[in-house]
Amino acid sequence: MGDRPDDLRALLDSVAAQKGDPIAVVVVGNGAPVTGVPEGVRTVELPENLGIPGGRNAGIEAFGPSGSEVDALLFLDDDGLLPNTSTAELVREAFSADPKLGILSFRIADPETGVTQRRHVPRLRASDPMRSSRVTTFLGGASAARTAVFAEVGGLPAEFFYAHEETDLAWRALDAGWGIDYRSDMLLHHPTTAPSRHAVYHRMVARNRVWLARRNLPAPLVPIYLGVWVLLTLARRPSAFALKAWLGGFAEGWRTPSGPRRPMKWRTVWRLTRLGRPPVI
């Protein structure tokens, strides 16, 4: 969004420093001009802010339909940084070793403390961020994906704007037979932040949770999944302001179109369950 020029330049320098073949880079200005980037970096300037998934989709399409000019894409937030020069090679090795591996989720750590927040470990058993594992979702701003995944299941849900867009894509990818790995050795430095810093957080988290279920879950699981999340939200005792925004978003999710409905196969439900994250929580 053009508000972190120094961070962006540090990120681009860390990408340029990666070992192995050079990485083609595109910077998407999400409703903002792109200035001060090194020569050779592609730029896309969107006339308005399309949100996180819309911006990433524009970056994908900058490399041809569904990113067809390349085999895999890194997605890196502009306030992140790759501290190790071997990350790109690790990505290449991982995809080469497993032809059905579709998405990689990196470990995110604060550059000052080295701490990885629990919410940045994409599984229920998140106490040990140093343990790599197969998972059922991923962190969008610190990840890599085969472009074959986008060609098969489509891009990120642009209408979500913010929140749960990665899980929507992950469920579609898993339903198509792709695997998703969390890799603790693929590290992105990123300052510790709270997701609630975004003004739209509570409304969009609730709205998109409903859309996610309506789009992707078999009909019998929709009320179970959403009922569990209502109980969890109430158990966390949000402030009156946050609860009002959450309930408004929850109602909006039922009232507004959720996009195309493609319920996952029951065998995918079982696969998610075996991976430790049944799609009711």
Placement of tokens 């300037």 in the chain: 45
Q: Indicate the pLDDT class of residue 195, thresholds 50, 70 and 90.
A: confident
The predicted model gives 208-215 an average pLDDT of 98
Mean pLDDT, rounded, for 188-207: 85
pLDDT for 193 beyond 70:
yes
Residue with tokens 């969004």: 1
pLDDT in tens, 119-176: 999 999 999 999 999 999 999 999 999 999 999 999 999 999 999 999 999 999 999 9
Any idea which fold 5-193 has? Answer: Spore Coat Polysaccharide Biosynthesis Protein SpsA; Chain A (3.90.550)
Residue 33 pLDDT more than 60?
Answer: yes
* Percent of the chain at pLDDT exceeding 90: 96
* Secondary element (H or E) of residue 149: helix 147-153
Whether the predicted pLDDT of 216 surpasses 60: yes
Average pLDDT, the chain: 96
Of the candidates 276, 70, 268, 257, the one whose C-alpha atom is nearest the C-alpha of residue 173 is: 268
The single residue listed with the structure tokens 């959403």 is 226
- The answer to whether the beta carbons of residues 52 and 164 sit under 8 Å apart is no
pLDDT for residue 118: 94
Could you give the C-alpha distances from 15 to 35, 41, 248, in angstroms and in order?
18, 11, 41
pTM of the predicted model as reported, rounded to 2 decimal places: 0.96
**Model pLDDT for residues 221-253, shown as the tens digit of each residue:** 999 999 999 999 999 999 999 999 999 999 999
- Could you identify the residue written with the tokens 């998140």? 126
Residue pLDDT, tens place only, 110-126: 999 999 999 999 999 99
Band of pLDDT at residue 199, cut at 50, 70 and 90: low
Per cent of the chain over pLDDT 70 is 99
Amino acid 147: pLDDT: 98
Domain boundaries, the chain: 5-193, 196-274
- pLDDT category of residue 197 using cuts at 50, 70 and 90: low
Q: What is the DSSP string of 222-251?
A: HHHHHHHHHHHHHHT---HHHHHHHHHHHH
d(CA 258, CA 20): 42
Q: How far apart are CA 95 and CA 144, in angstroms?
A: 10
Length of the chain: 281
45 and 62 in contact (C-beta within 8 Å)? Answer: no
**Overall average pLDDT of the 68-87 stretch:** 97
